[in-house]
Amino acid sequence: MSRSSASGDVVSPAAGTAPGKRERNAIRNREAILVAAREVFSELGYGATTIRAIIRRTDLAAGTFYNYFPDKESVLREILEDFAARARERAHEARMEAHTLEELMRSSFQTCFKLYAEETTLIAMMARNAGEIPLIFSGTILEPAIAELVADLRAKEREGIVPRLDVERTARVAVALAHELGLHMLSRKPFDIAGTTEFATRFMLGGTLGVAGPALAAL
C-alpha cells in the first residue's frame, strides 16, 4: 500500500518496488514544477515570480502546485538543495582522491567549474536572485559547502597532506572564490574550465603558501 510523503508525493513503502501510475505522475508533476520554476526565477527574479507564473509554464492545473509545495520559497529551496548536494558530493569525492594540497585545490575547483558549465540555467537563476534571497542562498549553498570543505581539509591534515591551517577561513575563501570565478567563467564563451581552474588553483595555493609559511613550503 502506498503512502503520502511530507512533501505531498506518493511513495512506495517497499524499497526497490517499481512505482505505479500514480507515483509516476507525482514524480513527473513535481519535476515539471521544478523545471518551470528554474526558468521563471531566472527570467523574472524571485520577488516578481508568482506561483501562477510557474504553473503557466507547465500543463498542470493551477491547484496542482499545492499538492507538492506550500509556497514558492519551498520550491527554490528544493532546487538549491538538490544542486548543492550534488556539488558537495562531487567535490568531496574529488578531494578524497588528492595526494597533495595542489591536487586537492585543483580537483575542487575543476569539479565546481564543470558543474557550473553543466548547469548554466540553474547558475543563471542563482546569480539572478542572489541579491533577493541572500539568507536562503547562503544557508543552502554556501554554508554547507564551507562546512564540508572544512571537514575534508581536517581529514587531509590528519593524513599529512595539508599543513596546519586556519581551515575555516581557508574554506570560506575557497568557496567564495569558486562561486565568483564560476559566474565569471559563464559570462565568457566558450567556457574556459581549464583556464579558470588553473587561475583559481594558483591564486589559492599562493595565498595559502603565504599564510602557512615554512610548514606548507616544505610539502
Instruction: Please check the confidence at residue 7 and state whether its pLDDT lies above 80.
Output: no
- The number of domains in the chain is 2
Domain assignment present for residue 79? The answer is: yes
Averaged pLDDT, 24-42: 92
Both 47 and 121 in a single domain? no
Lowest mean pLDDT segment, chosen from 16-20, 70-74, 165-169: 16-20
Domain assignment present for residue 2? The answer is: no
Instruction: Please check the confidence at residue 201 and state whether its pLDDT lies above 80.
Output: yes
Both 82 and 106 in a single domain? yes
Residue 66 amino acid letter = Y
Both 34 and 136 in a single domain? no
Give the CATH number of the domain where residue 31 resides. Answer: 1.10.10
Averaged pLDDT, 79-98: 90
Both 109 and 158 in a single domain? yes
CA distances, 27 to each of 23, 57, 60, 111, 212 (Å)? 6, 17, 13, 28, 49
Both 128 and 199 in a single domain? yes
Instruction: Please check the confidence at residue 123 and state whether its pLDDT lies above 90.
Output: no
17 pLDDT band, cuts 50/70/90, is: low
18 pLDDT band, cuts 50/70/90, is: low
Looking at 27, 50, 70, the residue that finishes a domain is: 70
Question: Do residues 127 and 83 make contact, with C-beta atoms less than 8 angstroms apart?
Answer: no
Residue 108 amino acid letter = S
Taking alpha carbons only, the member of 171, 178, 67, 24 closest to residue 114 is: 178
Ramachandran angles phi, psi of 3, nearest 5°: -140, 165
Taking alpha carbons only, the member of 42, 41, 43 closest to residue 72 is: 41
pTM of the full structure: 0.74
Instruction: Please check the confidence at residue 14 and state whether its pLDDT lies above 60.
Output: no
Q: Residue 11: give the domain boundaries.
A: 7-70
Both 139 and 186 in a single domain? yes
Give the CATH number of the domain where residue 193 resides. Answer: 1.10.357.10
Averaged pLDDT, 74-80: 90
Averaged pLDDT, 33-45: 90
Mean pLDDT of the chain: 84
Domain assignment present for residue 219? The answer is: no
